[in-house]
C-alpha cells in the first residue's frame, strides 16, 4: 500500500529537517567520517538561514499523513558570471534531495 504524501513549501522553521536531510544525503553517498560531516552542519545552517532570508533558496518537503517530513529537496539561486550559453548571472541549482530510506522507491523524489 502506498503512503499518502503531501508536498509543502519549506520555511526557515523547517531548518532542522533540512539539515538532517543534508547530512543523511552525504552519509548515503558514503561520507561517514564524523570529522568530515560534523563541521558541515553549522556551515549549512548558516547558509540556509541566510538563503531563506534573502529568498535565494526554495525548498519543498514531502510529509506523510502523520505530519513527519520524509523527504525533500530544493533549488538555490546561484550567481555566476555570464557566458555564451548562459547570459544571465542567476541560475538554478538543485540541491539537498533526500528521501528517508523507509519511503524510497515510491516516487517521492520525482
Which domains are seen in the chain, by residue range? 5-103 (3.40.630.30)
Rounded to whole angstroms, the Cα distance separating 107 from 105 reads 6
Helix H or strand E segment including 27: helix 15-28
Q: Would the pTM count as exceeding 0.95?
A: no
Residue with cell 533549488: 75
Give the model's pLDDT for residue 45. Answer: 97
User: Which residues pair with residue 59 across a beta bridge?
Assistant: 74
Percent of the chain with pLDDT over 90: 77
The DSSP annotation for 27-73 comes to HHTT---HHHHTTHHHHHHHHHHHHHHHT-EEEEEEEETTS-EEEEE
Q: Judge whether residue 1 has pLDDT over 70.
A: no
Q: Judge whether residue 106 has pLDDT over 90.
A: no
Confidence of residue 22 (pLDDT cuts 50, 70, 90): very high
Give the model's pLDDT for residue 2. Answer: 67
| pLDDT averaged over every residue in the chain | 92
Amino acid at each position: 500500500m502506498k503512503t499518502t504524501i503531501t508536498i509543502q513549501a519549506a520555511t526557515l522553521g523547517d531548518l532542522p529537517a533540512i539539515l538532517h536531510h543534508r547530512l543523511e544525503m552525504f552519509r548515503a553517498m558514503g561520507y561517514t567520517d564524523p570529522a568530515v560531516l560534523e563541521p558541515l552542519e553549522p556551515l549549512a545552517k548558516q547558509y540556509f538561514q541566510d538563503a531563506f532570508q534573502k529568498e535565494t533558496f526554495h525548498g519543498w518537503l514531502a510529509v506523510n499523513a502523520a505530519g513527519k517530513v520524509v523527504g525533500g529537496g530544493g533549488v538555490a539561486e546561484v550567481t555566476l558570471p555570464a557566458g555564451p550559453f548562459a547570459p544571465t548571472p542567476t541560475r538554478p541549482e538543485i540541491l539537498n534531495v533526500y528521501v528517508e530510506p523507509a519511503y524510497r522507491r515510491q516516487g517521492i523524489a520525482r
